[in-house]
């Protein structure tokens, strides 16, 4: 077990946003966080990354309470890709990716061959070698997304937490990024909206509803017709993909909700 949460709670604006979440991710595996808009995925990711302090319960890393660990040590091993990482500063793709090396360098240390190698590897893994000099503000949404992922990879993390990393990406880049996450073999927690991508690429899933874990387990245990209909309010057919043997969901129509 690397990252685990026990009875995690966090409230904001007078309501419980993350409400007693217990989960763990197996080392080297991908855990997908699913749930409707506002179900608490981003809030939970921030708690798991140690970017926000829980109101109750605990996050542990290798069994040690995260809140007792030094921030610099955490930054060397946990990388986070958040949804809105914007900057108006005149920086290039290379500048952004190089930021990933910050936790590994002292304030006055020189740029090393190892720093360079990590940055080059991250650019190559995300297909951004040709865009390295391009100014950030001229990038497309998908290119920005890939640059943020490259920054996280340059950090050479052991744990990688990503909030909807396929947002803005065309289908080819969505598949490429998720296939890359699988190849990397890092301990990964990823919030996703696309249930079919989650079914295909994640080892286990946690489905949130109103800040609580509604269901957790392997994709075929979580993504059942009844569960999807109850949590997302849409009629679906769920088949097993001939190729991947994972669930494949066909969305039919929104369901009439009680009182709707
Ligand atoms: N700082 C805050 N103050 C008040 N409410 C907040 C705060 N942060 C989050 N919330 C609320 O908590 C709920 C969960 O938000 P969160 O962003 O975690 O959900 P999400 O599952 O990631 O949603 P989405 O799929 O839309 O990205 C939302 O209703 C949001 O408005």
Any idea which fold 3-254 has? Rossmann fold (3.40.50)
Quick count: other Cβ atoms within 10 Å of Cβ 86? 9
Q: What is the ipTM of this complex?
A: 0.97
Q: Inform me whether the pLDDT recorded for 77 exceeds 80.
A: yes
Say yes or no: CB of residue 211 within 6 Å of ligand 1: no
Q: Inform me whether the pLDDT recorded for 46 exceeds 60.
A: yes
Tens-place pLDDT, residues 214-235: 999 999 999 999 999 999 999 9
Cα(153)–Cα(92) distance, rounded to whole angstroms? 17
43 C-alpha vs ligand 1 centroid, how far in Å?
6
Tens-place pLDDT, residues 19-32: 999 999 999 999 99
Nearest CA to ligand 1 atom 25: 37
Most confident of the ranges 85-89, 158-162, 182-186: 158-162
Say yes or no: CB of residue 192 within 6 Å of ligand 1: no
Say yes or no: CB of residue 38 within 6 Å of ligand 1: yes
Tens-place pLDDT, residues 187-211: 999 999 999 999 999 999 999 999 9
Say yes or no: CB of residue 35 within 6 Å of ligand 1: yes
Q: Is the sign of the CA dihedral 43, 37, 25, 187 positive or negative? A: negative
Say yes or no: CB of residue 40 within 6 Å of ligand 1: yes
Say yes or no: CB of residue 209 within 6 Å of ligand 1: no
14 vs 10, 17, 111, CA distance in Å? 10, 9, 46
pLDDT of residue 109: 83
Percent of the chain exceeding pLDDT 70 equals 97
- Could you list the beta-strand ranges (E) of the chain: 3-12, 15-24, 30-34, 56-61, 64-65, 78-81, 159-163, 187-191, 204-209, 212-217, 234-240, 247-254
130 vs 69, 133, 147, 173, CA distance in Å? 38, 8, 12, 16
pLDDT of residue 258: 64
pLDDT of residue 260: 53
114 C-alpha vs ligand 1 centroid, how far in Å?
38
45 C-alpha vs ligand 1 centroid, how far in Å?
11
13 C-alpha vs ligand 1 centroid, how far in Å?
10
Say yes or no: CB of residue 157 within 6 Å of ligand 1: no
**Domain-by-domain residue ranges, the chain?**
3-254
136 vs 141, 169, 178, 205, 235, CA distance in Å? 10, 16, 23, 33, 41
52 C-alpha vs ligand 1 centroid, how far in Å?
13
Q: What is the mean pLDDT of the chain?
A: 93
Tens-place pLDDT, residues 84-124: 666 677 899 999 999 999 998 877 888 999 999 999 999 99
């Amino acid at each position: 077990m690397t990252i685990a949460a026990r009875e995690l709670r966090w409230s904001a604006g007078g309501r419980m946003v993350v409400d007693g979440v217990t989960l763990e991710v197996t080392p080297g595996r991908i855990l997908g966080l699913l749930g409707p808009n506002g179900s608490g995925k981003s809030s939970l990711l921030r708690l798991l990354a140690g970017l926000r302090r829980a109101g109750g319960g605990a996050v542990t890393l290798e069994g040690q309470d995260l809140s007792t660990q030094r921030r610099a040590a955490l930054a060397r091993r946990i990388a986070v890709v958040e949804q809105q990482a914007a900057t108006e500063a005149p920086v290039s793709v290379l500048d952004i990716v190089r930021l990933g090396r910050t936790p590994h360098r002292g304030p006055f240390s020189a740029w090393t061959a190892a720093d360079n190698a990590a940055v080059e590897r991250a650019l190559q893994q995300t297909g951004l070698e040709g865009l390295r000099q391009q100014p950030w503000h001229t990038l497309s949404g998908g290119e920005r997304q890939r640059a943020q992922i490259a920054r996280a990879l340059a950090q050479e993390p052991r744990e990688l937490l990503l909030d909807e990393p396929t947002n803005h990406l065309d289908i080819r880049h969505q598949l490429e990024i998720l296939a890359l996450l699988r190849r990397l073999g890092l301990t990964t927690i990823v919030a996703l909206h696309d249930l079919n991508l989650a079914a295909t690429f994640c080892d286990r899933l946690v489905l949130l509803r109103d800040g609580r874990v509604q269901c957790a387990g392997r994709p075929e245990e979580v993504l059942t017709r009844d569960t999807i209909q109850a949590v997302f309010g849409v009629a679906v057919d769920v088949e097993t993909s001939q190729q991947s043997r994972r669930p494949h969901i066909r969305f039919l129509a929104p369901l009439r909700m009680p009182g709707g």
